[in-house]
Amino acid sequence: MKGHWDIRYSETEGVYGKLPSPFWVQELSKCSGHLALLPCEGEGRNAVLAAQKGWNVDAVDSSAVGMATCARWSKEAGVGKLVKTYVADALDFEGASDGYDVVGLFYAHMPNDIRQLFHRKAMSWLKPGGKIILEGFNSRQLTLHSGGPKDATMLFNIAQLESDFQGLVMEQMETVQTTLDEGPFHQGKAEIIRMVGTAPQL
């Protein structure tokens, strides 16, 4: 039986658009290294961009339909060899044994009871000096209609992310009012959080 995300990605291609998140484009350009991880990557909009910039990318999502689209978009963009797709629960994904230079968490909202575990897992994927780049909806998004979970406990706030990502050196942590134009499911005025944190060098 197909799950929620498989159905959504089967019904519409480019649910969050085909273009990458502008914040990912901006922040990835400041990163050094060669290996990026995108858990909860959906259809691959950010994976394709990273590969086009020369990164080797591991893309993970529990939706087989999303990952099939990611593989196809990567191939069509001529970067199929740089993008590996994994259909897996992100909490079970081990990843590269030496870790990643950058981990991108884009709209990776989890149920409250596993969010902290997932964020700890995200930190465990980093090499020393590696970065987490995160964008997602903040709690004020609940009254808006531009996307995101309708369960308030799945939305982010700064105090919670600061606690979840203790151990990273925070370079950026801010709530932002913006207007999303990312496919049919992220459209309009939105309340988001943007975070960049770096794992300490050993």
Ligand X SMILES: C[S@@+](CC[C@H](N)C(=O)[O-])C[C@H]1O[C@@H](n2cnc3c(N)ncnc32)[C@H](O)[C@@H]1O
Closest contact distance (angstroms) between CB of 58 and ligand X is 12
Residue with Cβ nearer ligand X (20 or 197): 20
Residue with Cβ nearer ligand X (62 or 138): 62
Calpha distance 61→65 (Å, rounded): 9
Q: Do the beta carbons of residue 154 and residue 166 sit within 8 Å?
A: no
Residue with Cβ nearer ligand X (129 or 149): 149
Closest contact distance (angstroms) between CB of 151 and ligand X is 13
Dihedral sign from CA coordinates of 71, 72, 75, 77: negative
Closest contact distance (angstroms) between CB of 24 and ligand X is 9
Calpha distance 173→171 (Å, rounded): 7
DSSP assignments along 84-135, one per residue: EEEES-GGG----TT-EEEEEEES----HHHHHHHHHHHHHTEEEEEEEEEE
Closest contact distance (angstroms) between CB of 20 and ligand X is 9
Closest residue to ligand X, judged by C-beta, is 42
Residue with Cβ nearer ligand X (3 or 200): 3
Closest contact distance (angstroms) between CB of 178 and ligand X is 14
Contact positions vs ligand X (CB under 6 A)? 5, 16, 40-42, 45, 60-63, 66, 89-91, 106-108
- Which of 53, 82, 195 is CA-nearest to residue 132? 195
Residue with Cβ nearer ligand X (169 or 176): 176
Closest contact distance (angstroms) between CB of 91 and ligand X is 6
> How many other C-beta atoms lie within 10 A of the C-beta of residue 116?
14
Phi-psi region of 10 (alpha: psi -120 to 50; beta: other; left: phi over 0): alpha
Residue with Cβ nearer ligand X (152 or 169): 152
Q: Do the beta carbons of residue 101 and residue 131 sit within 8 Å?
A: yes
- Which of 97, 101, 120, 100 is CA-nearest to residue 110? 120
